[in-house]
Amino acid sequence: MSAFNRMTMVAAAEVLAAFHSHSDMEVLEVQWGISGRCAGSSKSARIADLARIAADEQLEVMTIDGMVPIARTLIEAAILAPPSTKNTLGWKKLIAGLRFDGFEVVEERAETEPEYPWRQSTTEITVRLVRMLPGDIPELDFREAGNEVELLLDRHGLVVARGHLRQAMSAFGRGEWASANGALRNFFESYLNEIADALGYQGQGDGKVKRDFLGNIQPPFLLSQYNEWNENNQKPQYVQGLMSRMHPHGGHPGLSEEEDATFRLQISLITARLLLRRFDQWGR
């Protein structure tokens, strides 16, 4: 399986096409050994063929770094986009997809000393694709986490939470960070509420009351020995702490907003997988 999801592949092809002509793309296709397979008369057809090949086929192509999978080659070509292309929806989708895959684009600047003293120094900018987290640690594949969470939500009929997760994923894919954050907050609270109802909670009450129920039932669903929940509100509590983290005051526009939305998506999926697995095993 490719290290990158289909949204990432399509977005990379869109970005590449935004700053390459048909002729430029044809040269790349010859270099990558897929000449004649992306022969659509329109840019959109060419993008679709290129993205499909990158997503579906385990091709390795020759690059200056040796033989590299075509999916990564496509992405590394796309992230060299000029500043004008980085204002497009395609670029936002590419960055969002890469973050969901566990990667980010890093720009490094280095001053180059002039060859002669009467010349000015120059700044060389290098763009690299780097992993956000180690790739060999189990349970950190966010696509895998997302798929398992969706499966468990569907299996147990947690339809409200499933709807909020779909909204969050869709907004994240469009680069709409505030909308994604709001939907993730609703997702986190909804699946805990629905689990409480499924485990016997009755009556009215807000989410905090239902989370207290999950910590008080016997056996407890939220575990005090892991500091997930505690009857004493002054003690550290992971679940309530994460709920507070998902409801900060004020916005943080710019890059920090992107990074915050990525963090929220990642920690939401990992936490949901842990708790939904526990719910799936409940009573067995």
CATH of the domain at 151: 1.20.120
Report the share of the chain in percent with pLDDT over 90: 44
Q: What is the pLDDT of residue 156?
A: 94
Looking at 103, 121, 153, the residue that finishes a domain is 103
- Of the three residues 87, 103, 119, the one that is the final residue of a domain is 103
* Domain assignment of residue 110, yes or no: no
| 252 in the same domain as 185 | yes
Nearest 5°: the CA angle 86, 89, 92 is 65
One domain for residues 47 and 155:
no
Whether 261 and 212 share a structural domain:
yes
Give the model confidence (pLDDT) of 206-240 as tens digits.
Answer: 888 999 999 999 999 999 999 999 988 888 899 99
Q: What pLDDT sits at residue 141?
A: 65
Domain-embedded: residue 109? no
Q: Are residues 203 and 271 in the same domain?
A: yes
Domain identity same for 169 and 240:
yes
Is there a single domain that holds both residue 156 and residue 90? no
What b/e sequence results for 134-163 when a residue is b if at least 16 CB atoms lie within 10 Å of its CB, and e otherwise? eeeeeebbbbebbebbbebbeebebebbbe
pTM of the model: 0.70
Q: Tell me if 119 is assigned to some domain.
A: no
Long-range contacts of 60-64 (CB under 8 A, 24+ apart): 61/31, 61/32, 61/33, 62/31, 62/33
Give me the pLDDT at residue 127, please: 83
| Parent domain of 54 | 6-103
Total domains present in the chain: 2
> Both 81 and 186 in a single domain?
no
**166 and 219 inside one domain:** yes
Say which residues have a Cβ less than 8 Å from residue 99's Cβ, sequence separation at least 6.
Answer: 132, 258, 262, 265
Residue 186 lies in a domain: yes
Do both 150 and 231 map to the same domain? yes
**Domain endpoint, select from 52, 85, 103:** 103
Residue with tokens 């060389």: 124
Q: Is residue 257 part of a domain?
A: yes
pLDDT at 17: 93
Same structural domain for residues 149 and 252? yes
Residue 206 belongs to some domain of the structure = yes
Does 270 map to a domain? Answer: yes
Q: Are 87 and 183 contained in the same domain? A: no
**113 is a domain residue:** no
> Do 87 and 153 share a domain, yes or no?
no
pLDDT in tens, the chain (284 residues): 567 888 899 999 999 999 999 999 999 999 999 988 887 778 889 999 999 999 998 889 888 888 999 999 999 999 999 999 988 889 988 988 888 888 888 877 766 776 767 677 676 778 888 887 655 555 556 777 778 899 999 999 999 999 999 999 888 888 888 899 999 999 999 999 999 999 999 988 788 899 999 999 999 999 999 999 998 888 889 999 999 888 876 545 555 687 888 889 889 998 999 999 999 998 65
pLDDT score for 178: 87
| pLDDT tens profile 56-68 | 988 898 888 889 9
